[in-house]
Amino acid sequence: MLDNTHDAARRSWVSSANAHDDFPIQNLPLGIFSRADGARRAGVAIGDFILDLTRLAEAGLIDAEAADAVVATGDGTLNGLFALGNAPRRSLRQQLFALLEESSRDRARVEPLLHAAKDCKLHMPAVIGDYTDFYAGIHHALNVGRLFRPENPLLPNYKYVPIGYHGRTSSIDISGKGIVRPNGQRKRPDEIDPTFGPCRNLDYELELGFWIGTGNDLGKPINIAQAADHIAGISLLNDWSARDVQAWEYQPLGPFLAKNFATTISPWVVTAEALAPFRAAQLARPDGDPAPLPYLYDSKDQAAGAFDILMEAFLVPSGAEQGDAHRLSCGSSISMYWTPGQLVAHHTSGGCNLQPGDLLGSGTLSGETPDSRGSLLEITNGGRVPFQLASGQSRVFLEDGDTVIYRGHCRRDGFASIGFGECRGTVLPAP
């Protein structure tokens, strides 16, 4: 589904958009913003600006299906737009592209509807009805499995079932918020009884968040052949994790309070259309791995169901300046063992209904190499091996005042690079 909006040669009259690290005209991610009056409205990021979609529609500068898409954001969320499906979203992208292109004749009418992004406040893009976090990063599963079961790191179900758990939506917030270190029950191996107190092993997980567009009715699974059409876009996601709490509580029902105190997402939804040039074949399964069961197998999904998104994590240690950010890891989302479409097909296969604005986390995305490990649990080999920072400090897990920043970019020869903007959070002391 490539078209003129993916042409790397096209430029915008918004000069900061040209060669912008995240938001050139080929991206056009959707979000919710407000200005001094506090009213939440849908916007699109272009260079260093946000274009007000509501005012654009009111001015009659967009029409037909694209205008319907904007009207659907009237409640200050993208849920209604997501619910309309792909065609109105694609139409909106095409009309926005034409209005913002260098050759546009409407510049004089569009320009007053741009706001400097630094003067705007961003909000949650959608009301998230339900949130599910998967475990699709096989290198993460292997790295973590090796810590506990060196001989047999992957459990026998891993290559058959996309593993996941139902998470908590109330504590999901956008980039820039403080993350209060949770109190919880934890017990070190050398302790006889657990105690309640501040988490000692606070960690992050480098993930993608997949936004559900159209959902499905209860009892009507989404077929793998159509599953990708139900993903409206992608954000970066940090599944903050209290490892000591997790170790004590996770058996037999899985993560609970270790995960439900905070999740951070980047506020811009990079649409499925913007990501079209960066689709990739599903991770090749090594010889001997089982083929996906038929309900998870589709030749088109195998050929182009994955995404190649370069993901980086940085640590700005407590007291340091942003310029002293330490790069924790760099890897690609191509390492997912399951495609987003397979996650959707599996999630609904028993009849469960997804709804517009639901969020699916990928699971921690680590690569094969040591410099691409997406959590401190992996980087420090289970908390056993500290790592050094340029300042001479060292870390095992996160300390109060530490800031974790994610960046994500899609780069491919012949196409304009696009990015996700920031996903950041700063650790605050336990209450």
Residues that bind Mn ion (CB under 5 A): 133, 205, 239
Task: Return contacts of 391-394, CB within 8 angstroms, 24+ apart.
Answer: 391/317, 391/320, 391/324, 393/317
Least Å from the CB of residue 140 to Mn ion: 9
* Cα–Cα distance list, 151 to 147, 247, 261, 274 (Å): 10, 20, 33, 42
Contact 317, 324 (CB under 8 A): yes
Local structure of 343: helix, strand or coil: helix
Residue nearest to Mn ion (CB): 239
86: enclosing H helix or E strand? helix 86-100
Name residue, tokens 């559900």: 212
Q: Which two tokens stand for residue 324?
A: 């002293």
**Token pair listed for 147:** 């810590």
CB nearer to Mn ion: pick between 22 and 244: 244
Whose Cβ is closer to Mn ion: residue 205's or residue 378's?
205
Which lies closer to Mn ion via its Cβ, residue 154 or residue 276? 154
Yes or no: say if 147 and 373 are a contact pair by the CB < 8 Å rule: no
Instruction: Kindly state the helix (H) or strand (E) to which residue 284 belongs, with its residue range.
Output: none
Cα 266 from Cα 170, distance rounded (Å): 16
Cβ atoms 136, 336 nearer than 8 A: yes
SS3 content of the chain, % helix, strand, coil (to 5): 25, 25, 50
In terms of CB distance, is 239 or 378 closer to Mn ion? 239
Active-site residue among 139, 140, 346, 347? 140
What is the nearest approach in angstroms of Mn ion to the Cβ of residue 309?
A: 17
Compute CA 50 distance to the chain's CA centroid, rounded to the nearest angstrom.
Answer: 20
Q: Compute the least distance from the CB of residue 265 to Mn ion, in Å.
A: 13
Is 140 one of the annotated active-site residues of the chain? yes
User: Shortest gap between Cβ of 255 and Mn ion (angstroms)?
Assistant: 8
C-beta of 67 vs 138, nearer to Mn ion: 138
Query: Which residue, 84 or 360, is less far from Mn ion as judged by CB?
Result: 360
Residues with Cβ within 8 Å of 253's Cβ and at least 6 positions away in sequence, in order, are none
Nearest-approach distance from CB 91 to Mn ion, in angstroms = 35
Q: Tell the smallest beta-carbon distance from residue 103 to Mn ion (Å).
A: 44
Shortest distance (Å) from residue 168 CB to Mn ion: 12
Q: What distances in angstroms separate CA 424 from CA 17, 83, 159, 237, 386, one per listed residue?
A: 22, 28, 32, 9, 22
**What is the DSSP-derived secondary structure letter of residue 279?**
E
Q: Which of 30/163 has CB closer to Mn ion?
A: 163
What are the angstrom distances between the C-alpha of 83 and each of 73, 94, 233, 306? 10, 19, 12, 23
The dihedral region occupied by 132, where left means phi > 0, alpha psi between -120 and 50, and beta the remainder, is beta
Question: CA 129 → CA 81, 85, 213, distances in Å?
Answer: 15, 17, 12
Measured from the CB atom, the residue of 52 and 205 that comes closer to Mn ion is: 205
In the complex, least distance from residue 304 CB atom to Mn ion, rounded to whole angstroms: 25
Q: Which run of H or E residues covers position 132?
A: strand 131-134
- Please list the active-site residues: 140
